[in-house]
Amino acid sequence: MSMRSNSSSSYSREDDRNKDTSSPSTLDSRFNQTLRNVQGMLKGRSFPGKVLITQRSDPLDQSALQSPSNNIRFSNNDIEHGEQLDRSAEDVIQTRSNANASSSANKTKASTASTENTSNEVQKTVMGARSTDSARLMKFQKELSGTTVVLEKLRELAWSGVPPYLRPTVWRLLLGYAPSNSDRREGVLKRKRLEYLDCVAQYYDIPDIERTDEEISMLRQIAVDCPRTVPDVSFFQQAAVLKSLERILYTWAIRHPASGYVQGINDLATPFLVVFLSEYLSGSVDTWSMADLSPEKISNVEADCYWCLSKLLDGMQDHYTFAQPGIQRLVFKLKELVRRIDEPVSTRMEEQGLEFLQFAFRWFNCLLIREIPFHLVARLWDTYLAEGDALRDFLVYIFASFLLTVI
C-alpha cells in the first residue's frame, strides 16, 4: 500500500477559502443557475441514463474518449444523440449572451410596476413554492413507505433535491448501502455497523508498534489533513469530529490498499458526516456538538459514513490510484466539452495559457466541495448520488456548467 499526496492536491486550504467575497444570496443564485444549465444541456436524454460526450468534426484521439468504467466508446453512433445535447447546451449559452438585453428591459418594466403588484407576485411565488415543496414531499414519502423502494423512481425524485430530514435515508438507498426492501433494512444496517466496529478494532485501535512504517506515515498524514478539512466551519475543528474523520479515513485506506489514502478523500467524507449526524442533531451545523451524542450514536454515524464513502469510491477507484488516471481522462473530456459548447471561452483560455488541469484536477478530486459554500454541498450531492453509475460522465457536464456560469 502506498500513501500519496499528489502535487496538484497540495495547497493551503486557508488560501482557498479567501477566494470569493460574494454575498450568500449571489452564491446560491449562481449555484442554482449551474443546475439549471445542466438540465438544459441534458435535454432529450432518458432518465437516468449515460451522459454521452460526442466528437467534434475535427478528429480526436479515440483512446482518450474511452469510458474507464464500462468500456463504452464514444463514437459516430453517438453523434445524433450528442447533437441534441449540444444544441441544448448552445441554447443555454445563448440565453447567457442575451441576459444583459433582457435585464435592461425587465428593469424598465419593474420601475413602473406598483408596490402592490410586486407584493402580490411575491406572495403568489411563495405560495406556489410551498405547494410544490409539499407535493414533492408527498412523492418522497409515498416512495419510501412501500415494502420495496423502486430505486429508479427515487433517483428521479432525488435529482432535483431531497428534503433534509429524508436525506440520510435516501442517500443510504441511492448508494446501495441500505437494501430497498424495508423488511431487511434494519438488520442489514445493524450488521454493517458491527462490521465497521470490528474493522476499527482490528486496524485503528492498535498500538503503533503493530503498524508498518507505511501505515504510521499514512495515519500521520490523515491526522494532519483532518483539521484542514472545511476549515471555515467551526464544527469540523472539534476534537471528537476530527477523531471520527481520522477513524473513517484510516480504516478505509487500510482496507483499500490499491489507492491507500490520497488527499481529497478527506473532503468526500464530510457531506456524509453532516447528513448522518443530522438524524441526531438539529439547527445550524455551527451549533452542533459531538458531546451531545452517545458513543453508540457516534459509532453508527461513523459506520454509515464509512460504508457510503466506500460505495461512492467503488465507482471511481482510478481517481485515486497511482497518477490518478481517471481524473486525467475526465479533465480531457471537460476540455473538449467546453470547446464544443462555448468556443470563445475555450479560445480565450488557450490564449491566456490556462490549462484545464490547473483548476479542474481539484474539481474532480474533491467533487467541487472546495469551490462552493459548504451549506450547498448536500444539495449538490443529492444530484450526484441520483446519477448512480453515470456519475463520472455527469461530472463533466456539471463542471462545464459551473465553469461557464462563473466566468
Q: Tell me: the pLDDT tens digits for 383-404? A: 999 999 999 999 999 999 988 8
39-78 tens-digit pLDDT:
565 554 433 333 333 333 333 333 332 333 333 233 333 3
What mean pLDDT is predicted for residues 119-131?
Answer: 47
For residue 325, pLDDT over 90 is answered with yes
What mean pLDDT is predicted for residues 306-318?
Answer: 94
336-381 tens-digit pLDDT:
999 999 999 999 999 999 999 999 999 999 999 999 999 999 999 9
Mean per-residue pLDDT over the chain, rounded: 78
For residue 79, pLDDT over 80 is answered with no
Residue count of the chain: 407
Reported as a pLDDT band with limits 50, 70 and 90, residue 130 is low
User: Which of 45-54, 127-136, 181-190, 201-210 is predicted with the least confidence, judged by mean pLDDT?
Assistant: 45-54
User: Which of 131-140, 227-236, 355-364 is predicted with the least confidence, judged by mean pLDDT?
Assistant: 131-140
Reported as a pLDDT band with limits 50, 70 and 90, residue 135 is confident
Taking the CA atoms of residue 162, residue 166, residue 167 and residue 172 in that order, the dihedral angle to the nearest 10 degrees is -120
Reported as a pLDDT band with limits 50, 70 and 90, residue 274 is very high
CA atoms within 13 A on the CB side of 41: 27
What is the rounded CA–CA span in Å between residue 261 and residue 134? 42
Reported as a pLDDT band with limits 50, 70 and 90, residue 334 is very high
The candidate with the shortest Cα–Cα distance to 88, out of 407, 402, 399, 397, is 397
